[in-house]
Chain A
C-alpha cells in the first residue's frame, strides 16, 4: 500500500504498488490485508485506476464493515494481498458505451475511460448520488470522460435520480435509443436503470456485486439466477467467473419484474 486518498463521502482510493497485471474494465481483484485481517474472506473490488506500465494501481472503497475498515486503516508500506484480475470485463465490442454509476459503482469506469481516452475515444459517464459528497471520485474523471452528474438534493448537476438524468439526456439526444449502457451501482439503482433501458430501447450491461467467498470459481457461493445461451440451460451462474458483468436479458430476476 502506498497511499490512501480520501475522496470524501466516506470513500477512499487505496493505492498499491505494482506490478498490477493487465486488467480489463469490469474485472476485479480479491483484496485483504497481509497482516491483522480481522475477517475470514477476502473482499472483491474493481480495479479503479492503474499506471500505464502497471507500476501502481488503486481500488475504490467505502468502509462498510470490518474488512473494508482494515483496508482503510492500512499505513503506507503495509502489505495488501491481491488476487486477480478475475471475472469477465464489460464487452469490448461496444463502440461508444453510456456508463452509469452510483456510489462506489463508479470504480470500473475510470479504467474504462482511461483506456478509451488513450485510444482517442470519448466516454460518457452518468454519475448519481444523494448529494455532492456522495459523488466521490468524480474529479478523477476530469479530462478523461464527459461527466453528467445528478444528485437527489440538487446540490450538484441534474436534480433527481440518475434515471431521470438518463431520461433527460435521451430527450436531448446526448444518449440515443439503440446505444449500449454499462451500469454499476446499488441494486435498486441498477434495476431502475435496466427498466429505463428496456423501455427506451437501449442495451444494458450490469456489473453485479454479490457475496463472494473465493472469487476464483470454487465456492459456488456468488451465483445469480440466469438464462440465455451463454449458460447452456444451467439456471445459475458464478458472478466471479461468468460475471460480474451480465446483460440485463440474462438476469432471470430482472426478467420477472
Chain B
C-alpha cells in the first residue's frame, strides 16, 4: 500500500527527508524510529569543506522561511569517515527492527562537472542506495551559473555523473527558471534515473528600519508551505513531460500534502522545512498515510499521477453542451 519505486530503487514508503533539513538523520534519531521512514537524504556533501555563509542565515517569512546556509559541510572525506557510518547504523537498526530500512540517498554538490564526477564515483564505491545531484543550490552561486538553470549544463552534468555512478541518480532541479520542464527533460536526456523537484525559490526579506536584508547574504532560498503550490504545479508539469520518476519536495508537512504530490505525479515526497517544527514528523506522516490509504482503499501506486488523467479527461470534454455552444 505504501511501497513505491523510484526507477530502480524500491522504497517501503514514499516519505523521505529533504536534503539540508534533517542533517544525516543522526541528530534526529532520538525523536522517532527512523527505521520506519522511506529514505534519508543527506545534507549536501561537497569535495572540499565549506564553512558556509555568514550569519544571520535564516529568517521566518509568511508560511515559510528563507535560508542562506551556503552548503556548510566538512567535505567528503569527513562525511565518509564520520557521517556515513552513522547513516548506515540508522539503516541497520531499521532492518533489525522492521525488516526494512530507510534508503540512504547522498546529496552531492559540485562547483564543476569534474567535482560531481569525483563525488559520484566515491559514493558509488561506498555502496549508498542513490545519489541526489544538487544542481540547484541558490546560495553558493558566487557569480557562476547554476547547472540547473541551463538545459545543456544539466544534461552534461547528469551524463557525466551517470557515466561513473553505479547507483541510481536523481537530479535536483531549481524552480528559479523560466521553463522547468525543459530542464527536467535535459536531465532525462542525460540519463537521470529520476528528478527531485523542487529546490527553494529565491527570495528576500528586508528590515526597513535597518535598511538592509535580514539575511547577511541578502538573498535566500524560500521553503515551507508558501512554495507548495509552486512545487505541485512543477511536479505536475514535469510528470507530463518525462518518463522518469519524480521525487517531490516543497512545503509538504502532512500525509495529505504527500498524497497531493503523488496525485500530481510524484513517486515519493521529501519532507523539509516541517522537520524543523517537528523532528518526529516523518513517522507521523507514515502513520497518517497508512490510515488514509486504508480508509480510501487505495495505494500510492494507484494514486500516482491521477490528477493528470483527471485533467486530461476534463480538457477533452467539451466546455459546454453543443446545444448551448451553437446558440
Contacts and interface: CB of A to CB of B under 8 A. Distances in A.
Contacts of A222: 55, 57-58
B24 to A, nearest CB: 9
A219 B64 contact: no
B52 A213 contact: no
A218 B58 contact: no
Interface stretch (A39-47, A49-57, A142-150): A39-47
B281 to A, nearest CB: 11
A219 B273 CA distance: 9
Nearest to A81: B278
A202 to B, nearest CB: 27
B7 interface: no
Contacts of A81: 278
A236 B43 CA distance: 17
A193 B28 CA distance: 36
Interface in B67-91: 67, 69, 72, 74
B63 A234 contact: no
5 contacts: A219-B67, A221-B67, A221-B69, A224-B55, A234-B51
B221 to A, nearest CB: 12
A210 interface: yes
Contacts of A219: 20-21, 58, 67, 69, 276
Given A223-B55, A224-B55, 16 more contacts: A40-B64, A40-B65, A40-B277, A210-B56, A211-B56, A213-B67, A213-B273, A214-B276, A216-B27, A218-B22, A220-B20, A220-B43, A221-B67, A225-B54, A234-B74, A236-B55
A220 B69 contact: yes
Interface string A60-96: 0000000000000000000001010000000000000
Interface in B27-66: 27-28, 31, 43, 51-52, 54-60, 63-65
B72 A220 contact: yes
B22 to A, nearest CB: 5
Contacts of B52: 220, 223, 236
B65 A213 contact: yes
A246 to B, nearest CB: 13
A41 B225 CA distance: 12
Given A211-B56, A221-B67, A235-B51, A83 B279 contact: yes
B72 A236 contact: yes
B191 interface: no
Contacts of A236: 51-52, 55, 72
A154 interface: no
**Interface SS of B by simple majority:** loop
A252 B28 CA distance: 29
B224 interface: yes
Contact of B277 (A42, A220, A223, A224): A42
B301 interface: no
B60 A218 contact: no
Nearest to A221: B58
Most chain A beta carbons < 10 A, residue from B64, B67, B277: B277
Contacts of A223: 52, 55, 57, 72
B27 A41 contact: no
A95 to B, nearest CB: 33
Interface in A14-55: 32, 39-42
Closest 5 CB pairs of A and B: A221-B58, A218-B23, A214-B276, A213-B276, A217-B27
A88 to B, nearest CB: 15
A218 B275 contact: yes
B276 A211 contact: no
B103 to A, nearest CB: 19
B27 A211 contact: no
Contacts of A218: 21-23, 27-28, 43, 275-276, 279
Interface in B236-285: 273, 275-279
A211 B59 contact: yes
A39 B276 CA distance: 12
Contacts of B23: 217-218
Nearest to A65: B60
Contacts of B27: 216-218
A83 B67 CA distance: 22
Contacts of A225: 54-55
Nearest to B49: A234
A39 to B, nearest CB: 6
A236 B72 CA distance: 9
A214 B64 CA distance: 13
